[in-house]
Structure 1
Amino acid sequence: MTAHIEENRSHPHLPDLLAAYHLVNQAEKGTAVETAADLPAVYRVEAEDPAGAFAADTVLLATPSGADAPAGCVVLKAPRDGRAPEIKRLWVAPEARRKGLARALMAEALRRAAASGAPAVRLTVWSWRDEPLALYRSLGFATVEPWDGRPDLLCLEKPLDVVERLSPDVVRAHADGLAALLVDAVDGGASVGFLAPLDRVAAVSWWSGVAEEAAAGVRDVWAALGPDGRPTGVVTLVRADAENGRHRGEIARLLVHRSARGRGLGRRLLATAEAHAAATGLRLLVLDTQTDSPAEHLYRGAGWTAAGTIPDFAADPAGTLRATTLYYKRLG
């Protein structure tokens, strides 16, 4: 089932959704009340004036396909006191459940949290709420040390854009998503070895070759996986095969999707590859990038040294020859 997700803390149906959430919540806690007017003040204000109660937060509503009113809501609380943003008030009307609305609301909330640069998202859930808890677990939330000491309240957290090392089989499993990163990079003008337009089949084939190199032990692959499990960024480390160069590796194909930029993913991917290189005995890393490209700012900021520039080294996606700057970084 498809759903229309919108942000609107002033929607006329939002008070009813929040009131229904709180009335059920109070009943589950054994403190049932009859109407929204009888709710504790801290909850009553949300149902009476959600625009004011959530003025600093993101309120999302889900309207089922073909319906004329939202049947679900969720609130993404703004980060406070250096803590991760928190998801609150996830609610779907009983008649609209088991149609994917809750998952759609959560996916959009997680996407927005990731786009804001948040490293993680947290939430609380009563231990007896089996269905919401199963949903959160399926989305990658894990129980953490409680920040709220109320009995039976579980505190969960999910890291965003988790950087994982990919085995050859996982590279193959993510071939479509990794290919989309490569196509996006070429479409965006990045000089990464291909001319535009890059065919998706060709991009998938390239990653299939990477999987073979990973299986042979000559290339390591890390990807940042977004809330939906699809790659939002990737980096690879290629080990030198010459006998006198076993101390050296090359950073290759550091890619971040244009929709995921501006939140430090490139730096995290690079740091992950560097740390692994050092931990496995490499003492020198090299890379090359198009001169005057945005990537140069990233590498210089991460402590890389420019070794020199070669004019007309490679064509950009449009076919124009561009200069390339070579960089190196000593490890340890």
Structure 2
Amino acid sequence: MPLTFTLDPALTPALRDGILDLWTDVSNAGGSVGFVAPVTREDIRPELVRHLVQMAEGRTRLLVGHDEDGRVAATAFLTHNSHRLMTHWIWLYTVMVHPRHQGRGYGRDLLAAAEDAARGTEGVEAIRLTCRGGHGLERFYASCGYKEVGRVPDAIRVAPGDDRNEVLMLLPLG
């Protein structure tokens, strides 16, 4: 059964907790969403609060996917570029699908919904995102139309002696 996506949903305590649970579960399953397992909800909470503040300021939009049981199953944050010479593209951050739903095409569905949201934003011509090398994520994003446009070797230190590339991907909307 497909996910139901909502852009800019009302932020309720249940939604906030659902995102926090999703982010924790994805991180602990090895997902590259800014943390290295093991993490707790309390480890992730300050980063979620930063995202929520950006939403309140109008700089970031939330795209959330709910499963058939109404649980938060996927999220992505679309962030406007604040540099006046770069307002024609947005960042896509914290792209997550719950581990229990992976392998069902929901990641592609989430990226398609993010693309639709970006296309609906006046003046936006492209989406940029970064991903951690070493997981094959750049191949997944490429299969969804993104092109690798840059790579910073060893930019992400997962652990001492375990540095990964930061891969910059771009999806032109034109």
| TM-score normalized with structure 1 length | 0.49
2:16 to 175, 181, 196: 175
* Aligned-residue offset at 1:244: 1.1
Question: C-alpha separation between the residues in 1 aligned to 2:54 and 2:10?
Answer: 8
Once the two structures are overlaid, the 10-residue window that deviates more, 224-233 or 237-246, is 224-233
Asked if residue 257 in structure 1 is aligned to residue 98 in structure 2, the reply is yes
Asked if residue 212 in structure 1 is aligned to residue 57 in structure 2, the reply is no
Structure having the higher strand fraction is 2
Contact 1:233–1:255 (CA under 8 A) maintained in structure 2? yes
Question: C-alpha separation between the residues in 1 aligned to 2:46 and 2:151?
Answer: 31
| Matching residue of 2:112 | 271
Instruction: Return the letter of the residue paired with 1:224.
Output: G
Contact 1:175–1:208 (CA under 8 A) maintained in structure 2? no
| Matching residue of 1:36 | none
Contact 1:192–1:253 (CA under 8 A) maintained in structure 2? yes
What is the DSSP-based 3-state SS (H/G/I as helix, E as strand, rest coil) of the residue aligned with 2:85?
helix
Question: C-alpha separation between the residues in 2 aligned to 1:294 and 1:168?
Answer: 34
Q: Could you say what the CA RMSD is over the residues aligned between the two structures, in angstroms?
A: 1.8
Instruction: Return the letter of the residue paired with 2:34.
Output: G
- Computing the radius of gyration from Cα coordinates, the structure with the larger value is 1
Question: C-alpha separation between the residues in 2 aligned to 1:292 and 1:201?
Answer: 27
| Matching residue of 2:81 | 240
* Aligned-residue offset at 1:168: 5.5
Question: C-alpha separation between the residues in 1 aligned to 2:134 and 2:125?
Answer: 27
| Matching residue of 1:287 | 129
Contact 1:168–1:215 (CA under 8 A) maintained in structure 2? no
| Aligned-pair identity (%) | 27
Structure having the higher helix fraction is 1
Higher RCO by CA contacts (8 Å cutoff, separation 6 or greater): 2
| Matching residue of 2:42 | 201
Question: C-alpha separation between the residues in 2 aligned to 1:166 and 1:240?
Answer: 18
Question: C-alpha separation between the residues in 1 aligned to 2:75 and 2:43?
Answer: 18
* Aligned-residue offset at 1:264: 1.1
Instruction: Return the letter of the residue paired with 1:201.
Output: E
Contact 1:289–1:326 (CA under 8 A) maintained in structure 2? yes
Instruction: Return the letter of the residue paired with 2:135.
Output: S
Contact 2:28–2:36 (CA under 8 A) maintained in structure 1? no
Question: C-alpha separation between the residues in 2 aligned to 1:291 and 1:201?
Answer: 26
Question: C-alpha separation between the residues in 2 aligned to 1:173 and 1:212?
Answer: 17
Q: How does 1:131-150 map to 2 (within 5 A)?
A: none
What is the DSSP-based 3-state SS (H/G/I as helix, E as strand, rest coil) of the residue aligned with 1:191?
coil
| Matching residue of 1:165 | 7
Flag structure 1 segments of 5+ consecutive residues without an equivalent.
1-117, 120-160
| TM-score normalized with structure 2 length | 0.89
Question: C-alpha separation between the residues in 2 aligned to 1:255 and 1:275?
Answer: 17
* Aligned-residue offset at 1:289: 0.7
What is the DSSP-based 3-state SS (H/G/I as helix, E as strand, rest coil) of the residue aligned with 1:221?
strand
Question: C-alpha separation between the residues in 2 aligned to 1:191 and 1:321?
Answer: 13
1:323 to 152, 162, 165: 165
Question: C-alpha separation between the residues in 1 aligned to 2:16 and 2:11?
Answer: 10
| Matching residue of 1:229 | 70
Question: C-alpha separation between the residues in 1 aligned to 2:140 and 2:74?
Answer: 15
Q: Deviations over 1:271-330 (max 9, x none)?
A: 1111111221201211111124242232111111111221111123x5521112111111
